Structure 1
Amino acid sequence: MRVDGNPSTDPKIDRYDETEVLIVGSGPIGAVFARSLVDKGKEVLMIDIGEQRVGDHKKNSMAVQKDISLFTNTVKGELNLLSVPTSNVEAVLEPSSWAPRTEQQAFIKNGQNPDQKPILNLPAACATRVVGGMGSHWTCCIPREHANIERSNLFNDEEWDLLYTKAEKLLNRNDTAFDDSIRQQLVKETLKKAYEGREMRSMPLACERSKLNQNYVEWSCAATVLGDLSEPDYKSPLFKIRPNTQCLGLALGPDKKIKMAVTRNILTGEMQYIKAKKYVICAGAILTPGILFNSTFGDHSLADELPSALGCYMTEQPMAFCQVVLNRSLVDSVKDDPYHLGWAKKVKQHEQKYKNDPLPFPFNDPDPQCYFPLSEKYPWHTQIHRDAFGYGQVPPNVDQRLIVDLRWFTYMEQKQSNYVEFSSTYRDQFGMPQPTFHFTLDEGALTRCEGMISDMVDVARKLGGFLPGAEPKYLAPGSALHICGTYRAGEEEKDSVVDRSGKVWGYDNLVLGGCGVIPTGNACNPTLTAACFALAAVDKMVQELEA
């Protein structure tokens, strides 16, 4: 497609719009950009490939909060695998069934990728293409990165603290939402006693208890950050969100400024140009570089002039997982209130109301949400909670109140040789270049993995027995859904893609946001840190727009 000098008169284009800031992606980080820019009086147009629906969190469903196991299928339904090797298909077909012959290419639909080597893949890496992005089903755990192990030095301690504080306010950080839970207290006290000297905390969560009914939790999401901007009847000249709109790429002018975004309505096929003063791409750690690699429009191809680090230095989090059924002795001790935390009264009230229930936990007792923070001695982030995901299944005949999930994450080093490339031959299901992963763990990460799973098993044994089918295991690479570094921030172009304000080296009006900006290996959930980079980017953008 050619982009001429006056797109508003180009007969191939169905629509032409102008705005001050264009944001591609409506997840939590896109929402941070939008909310912060609108609050500073800037006009924002946000587009997303997802359907027209407010970006709420699926765990805010009352049905899911009654039975968290329902959340598993919700998540599975919104995750699209990014790269599926076709060289190791194990399905045994009838001889008469169609299958590719030796001389024929393998399947190429829905992420199936003949170029993907299984040994170098991130087989569980996925993208979410809905309004609200990953924020529609994320864990909402928002720890700060460890200053000496995870956090970059692009900001000093004072700057980091200010950015983290602002980001936590936007995301509604809450460290006490589950602290009245008997099971929260039981798990925390049991592990404090077992691991004296090791810090045990309530998880820092992006949530708040419902003001209408304290039995329910309002989990933070893109709609939370957007606030009134997400209301269907909200009318403002400063903010619009356009769903079902795919960004195909960016057109570069001869002055090395982005001239416009080329987009398409995926329902109608309508082609649209959007011209802005600033372009913010925050479509995820893989889809964002995919948009840039597809930016071959016009006489000046952006894809040919991008920093060489784009797609490189990719990191993920090795992850171990198990589920336990609480130990009988721990459960039976609850009625005796051994820690004098007021359990006896709650148990008595529950027993009087539900005489046939064999468990002492009230039906509205919140799930545990606690963790051991990453430390020098234990270099892994932990989550001890109930947050059933695609890999967590609980049989319907086991009471959910007895189940505790344990998820352990560690970090890896950033290596240029860990990268994602984009095919000029194959396309994904949305017509964009097919990503192919080249990924291996470093020796340090492999060593940490051994210690991590041993630690998880030891902690699990303090709480109960393993749920059949959910015994300790490593999860497939990519399962954490925390890919970082693919357009990393840095101090110079030779080993980074953007500066600390998210601006792509050499392009004054192009900003990237999301976990792909994070330049260091990290074990903890990265969303809060990505929000910090977004806030720093907003400050710089506003300064330049008002200059």
Structure 2
Amino acid sequence: MTGRYPGEVDVAVVGSGPAGAAWARTLHENAPDLRVAVFEVGPVLSAPPGDHVKNIADPQARRRAQRASEGPAAEADGEQPPATVDGRRGRPGTFLLGDGFAAGGTGLPVGAMSSNVGGMGAHWTCACPRPGGTERIGFVEDLDDLLDEAERLLGVSAQALADAPLAGEVRRLLGAALDADRPADRRVQPMPLAVRRDDAGRAHWSGPSVVLGDVLERGVALHPETLVERVLREGNGAVRGIAVRDRRDGTTAEVAARTVVVAADALRTPQLLFASGVRPPALGRYLNDQPQVLLAVRLPNEVLAGDGAEDHGDASTAARTAIDGSSGVSWVPFDDDRHPFHGQVMQMDASPVPRPDLPADRPGAYVGLGWFVAKDVRAQDRVEFDETATDDYGMPAPRVHYELTDVDAERLAAARSAITTAAHALGRLIDDEPIELPAGSSLHYQGTTRMGRSDDGTSVCDVNGEVWGVPGLFVAGNGLIPTETACNPTLTTVALAVGGARHVAKTLAHATLDRKDGS
């Protein structure tokens, strides 16, 4: 041991979000003798570590947990964050990119991150749709098997909240308007969500604690409040470990590792590779933030009158019928030919994008539609890193070059038309026209460490996540996704993490056996 850190592990996982948690769980399940340690720059928010903050019942305790996720500025002042930073509005539990958010083009004005055990997975909406059509990564041969396993790890269910008040009527109205000629699996349906109900009917949202299961009790080590400053390499380029800084007291250490997995996020994973001198041509490029349009609707009175929400009955029924953060979410799936967008529809009472301007005349009366649009992915949309300036953690400062193209403008125009059609099917439009959110709003950043079939300069890693030319260095997270997607990326990201971890577990387990046998 070096201070509170081990001197050596088999696998060092950097980042404790859904991807890092999936790596740790899969490694332990497939090769339990491996020494696995997870390193996270932020603090533990909950018991168990990595739980979703929505499961914290007390509002003040939940806000404290969110505040603890909001990076070094929150640590320094301990006060409630301003509603905006230089005119840019952030969300609870996240902190905005610094002054490099728009180094070229519009940038990502509301680009944001979280620093805590569980990462953004402690704050996400838990939507887990399967990718369809061109969203799918064609060269991942076992993708459906991996998606099945990702659903198991995340605890995904399409039915846990399907009986929420008004959700059935919303789906009926949308389906009547949109389902003609759609494939059966791409029709309007309940959103697959990483959530379960307890015996009392209360929803429990899946954070990375659910993905981890009990592996932290069975030997996987967690090291919070630890900044990984560099990946260390041998003279031949292969990985030999990581250099860390204890954020509690500033001390430093080196941890030897046979394999290093960087699962920080789509902005900080390329940052760590850059800081470590690992700079393949595609690093940080193909940055993909899904453009979004929103529209609000008031449901017809006849629909509201028939939902039965006033008949609460026992406590279990009351938990199921209240319009709150547990309300159902309906899904309008991506379909290349008929609907090249991803639609989420929910009561505004439960929306992660609040609308305080809407009157509170009836719980559940107002429904928000959100259409995600596949970005026109280009190499020039990128995050770069400054050789001289640093961020609040002392790492190379990010500089974002990003803008929408003419193709994006056409796709957004089509999305505005499609969401308006869907909204008219539900009721009376509240907004004069669809609202386009500023770049960065999706929090679904992808592509910056994208995987590829070969080392041709357009990708950072192979199908297992191993970085080209750096044996033993793997990347994980949304940054691996190379396709133009509209759907939420977490399910795909966890699936890819499972594939990489299975590969490493098999490889290291065989190497361990060979060493024990003396071969």
The equivalent residue for 2:484 is 521
Q: How does 1:499-514 map to 2 (within 5 A)?
A: 499-514=462-477
1:4-31 Cα offsets, whole Å, 9 max, x none, are xxx97xxxx9966211110000001111
Of 200, 215, 219 in structure 1, the residue corresponding to residue 188 of structure 2 is 200
Deviation at 1:169, TM superposition (A): 0.9
Mapped contact 1:245–1:263 kept (Cα < 8 A): yes
Q: Provide the aligned C-alpha RMSD in A.
A: 3.2
How far apart are the structure 1 equivalents of 2:345 and 2:63? Answer: 17
How far apart are the structure 2 equivalents of 1:81 and 1:448? Answer: 37
Q: How does 1:26-175 map to 2 (within 5 A)?
A: 26-40=16-30, 41=32, 42-53=34-45, 54-62=49-57, 78=69, 111-113=97-99, 116-117=102-103, 119-146=105-132, 148-156=133-141, 159-175=142-158
How far apart are the structure 2 equivalents of 1:434 and 1:398? Answer: 47
2:239 is the alignment partner of 1:249: no
Report the count of equivalent residues.
Answer: 474
How far apart are the structure 2 equivalents of 1:25 and 1:154? Answer: 26
The equivalent residue for 1:463 is 426
The equivalent residue for 2:296 is 323
Secondary structure at the aligned position of 2:393 is classed as coil
Mapped contact 2:100–2:400 kept (Cα < 8 A): no
Of 189, 213, 235 in structure 1, the residue corresponding to residue 200 of structure 2 is 213
The equivalent residue for 1:339 is none
Mapped contact 1:482–1:515 kept (Cα < 8 A): yes
Alpha-carbon distance change, 460 to 81 in structure 1, aligned in 2, over 3 angstroms: farther
Alpha-carbon distance change, 71 to 242 in structure 1, aligned in 2, over 3 angstroms: closer
Alpha-carbon distance change, 431 to 400 in structure 1, aligned in 2, over 3 angstroms: farther
Alpha-carbon distance change, 80 to 317 in structure 1, aligned in 2, over 3 angstroms: farther
Of 210, 215, 227 in structure 2, the residue corresponding to residue 229 of structure 1 is 215
How far apart are the structure 1 equivalents of 2:397 and 2:86? Answer: 19
Of 484, 502, 505 in structure 2, the residue corresponding to residue 542 of structure 1 is 505
The equivalent residue for 2:80 is none
Alpha-carbon distance change, 164 to 196 in structure 1, aligned in 2, over 3 angstroms: closer
How far apart are the structure 2 equivalents of 1:202 and 1:525? Answer: 15
Mapped contact 2:51–2:118 kept (Cα < 8 A): yes
How far apart are the structure 1 equivalents of 2:454 and 2:71? Answer: 34
Structure 2 unmatched ranges of 5 or more: 74-84, 89-94, 315-319, 512-519
Deviation at 1:533, TM superposition (A): 1.2
How far apart are the structure 1 equivalents of 2:449 and 2:321? Answer: 47
Structure 1 unmatched ranges of 5 or more: 1-6, 83-87, 92-108, 296-301, 336-342, 354-360
Q: How does 1:93-492 map to 2 (within 5 A)?
A: 111-113=97-99, 116-117=102-103, 119-146=105-132, 148-156=133-141, 159-197=142-180, 198=182, 199-210=187-198, 212-214=199-201, 216-230=202-216, 234=217, 236=218, 238-295=219-276, 302-303=277-278, 306-332=279-305, 334=306, 349-350=311-312, 362-363=321-322, 367-375=327-335, 376-386=337-347, 387-390=350-353, 392-393=355-356, 397-466=360-429, 472-492=434-454
How far apart are the structure 2 equivalents of 1:59 and 1:402? Answer: 23
How far apart are the structure 2 equivalents of 1:328 and 1:514? Answer: 44
1:227-268 Cα offsets, whole Å, 9 max, x none, are 1235xxx3x4x3110110011111222021122211111121
The equivalent residue for 1:97 is none
The equivalent residue for 1:24 is 14
Deviation at 1:542, TM superposition (A): 1.6
Deviation at 1:544, TM superposition (A): 1.8
1:272-296 Cα offsets, whole Å, 9 max, x none, are 211111100000000011111111x
Secondary structure at the aligned position of 2:105 is classed as helix
How far apart are the structure 2 equivalents of 1:458 and 1:167? Answer: 33
Mapped contact 1:150–1:522 kept (Cα < 8 A): yes
Q: Percent identity?
A: 30
How far apart are the structure 1 equivalents of 2:449 and 2:465? Answer: 9
How far apart are the structure 2 equivalents of 1:419 and 1:429? Answer: 21
Moved more, 71-80 or 198-207: 71-80
Alpha-carbon distance change, 481 to 75 in structure 1, aligned in 2, over 3 angstroms: farther
How far apart are the structure 2 equivalents of 1:420 and 1:50? Answer: 22
1:184-204 Cα offsets, whole Å, 9 max, x none, are 111111222333515211101
Alpha-carbon distance change, 168 to 110 in structure 1, aligned in 2, over 3 angstroms: closer
